[in-house]
Copies of this chain bind each other. A is one copy, B any other.
């Protein structure tokens, strides 16, 4: 991650702010506020603003449930209860805003989470940075043979070299031609004074999908957890998981009690279907179970056996 001098200066100035407020404050999050945490080869994640902390969730719940919430004696107990029973609105009372730099093909996955506010760098107005994602060699995975959207072994030797060379040379050439078509270089200098440049909104179409873009992305804690549950998961594409893992860490600093409940009930938990529940009940009772009469597919059967560490039952 190479921050420009301007960016470094801006971050430094932001971190020097020392304002007084009557609002709730999250001390651990304040410590890393504005910091650019590196992600992939040129990306970053920065928390640039937030609203509320664990106590804001409790406060909202107490407004809803009135004296009813006094039964649950502690903030931690209440937050766990809310998480376990899928109460959603109290978690919407906290809000966070990130500044993210990420490759376009990851931005396209990310934007599918619609309940968020976004301001993205516009390539209609401005020229994109000359930065593109190249996987490190240990992330250069082959197509999985068993899972159509998964990764298999890592490519090695000559083939790995070849792939990296192609990715690099194609990204560089298309960027150079982007500048040629614009008749302008990234730094704003004109290439040929006697020529016009192609409109930026057209020239950008020549760039490859690993080109970096950046955006401000703001969402509430509930929707952030929905995002992280999917994207910090082992089935998510590695490149988005890198971002999700960094953000998971900011959640831990921001709302530590909620983070613990989230890890227990969502990330570490599992769902069991009606059929699955019956199978587990039978196993506990020592009764026979078998795939054929379960009404499940083999894939589903194995998913539940794996979840409960029942390796002997795997098919």
Contact = CB atoms under 8 A, between A and B. Distances in A.
Q: What's the dominant secondary structure at chain A's contact region? A: mixed
Nearest to A111: B111
A276 B197 CA distance: 36
B166 A206 contact: yes
Interface in A87-143: 89-90, 92-93, 95, 97, 99, 103-105, 107-108, 111-112, 114-115, 117-122, 124-127, 133, 135, 140-143
20 contacts: A18-B22, A19-B20, A23-B49, A51-B95, A60-B216, A93-B119, A95-B218, A133-B205, A135-B202, A140-B198, A141-B199, A142-B199, A151-B202, A153-B196, A170-B174, A206-B210, A207-B209, A270-B271, A271-B271, A281-B308
B122 A65 contact: yes
Nearest first, the 10 closest Cβ-Cβ pairs linking A and B are: A268-B274, A66-B126, A68-B125, A92-B117, A205-B210, A142-B196, A51-B51, A19-B25, A60-B119, A68-B148
Contacts of A124: 149, 237
A275 interface: yes
A116 to B, nearest CB: 9
Interface string A33-61: 11000000000000001111000100111
A136 to B, nearest CB: 12
B297 A77 contact: yes
Nearest to A230: B86
Contact of A196 (B30, B84, B152): B152
A117 B170 CA distance: 34
A29 to B, nearest CB: 10
Residue picked from A25, A143, A263, most chain B C-beta under 10 Å? A143
A230 to B, nearest CB: 8
Interface residues on chain A, size class: 35 or more
Contacts of A77: 297
Contact of A51 (B50, B205, B265): B50
A288 interface: no
Nearest to A177: B166
B19 A14 contact: no
Contacts of A56: 49
A192 to B, nearest CB: 10
Nearest to A151: B199
A248 interface: no
A161 interface: no
A174 B308 CA distance: 45
Contacts of A283: 284
Interface in A182-236: 182, 188, 195-202, 204-210, 214-216, 218, 220, 230
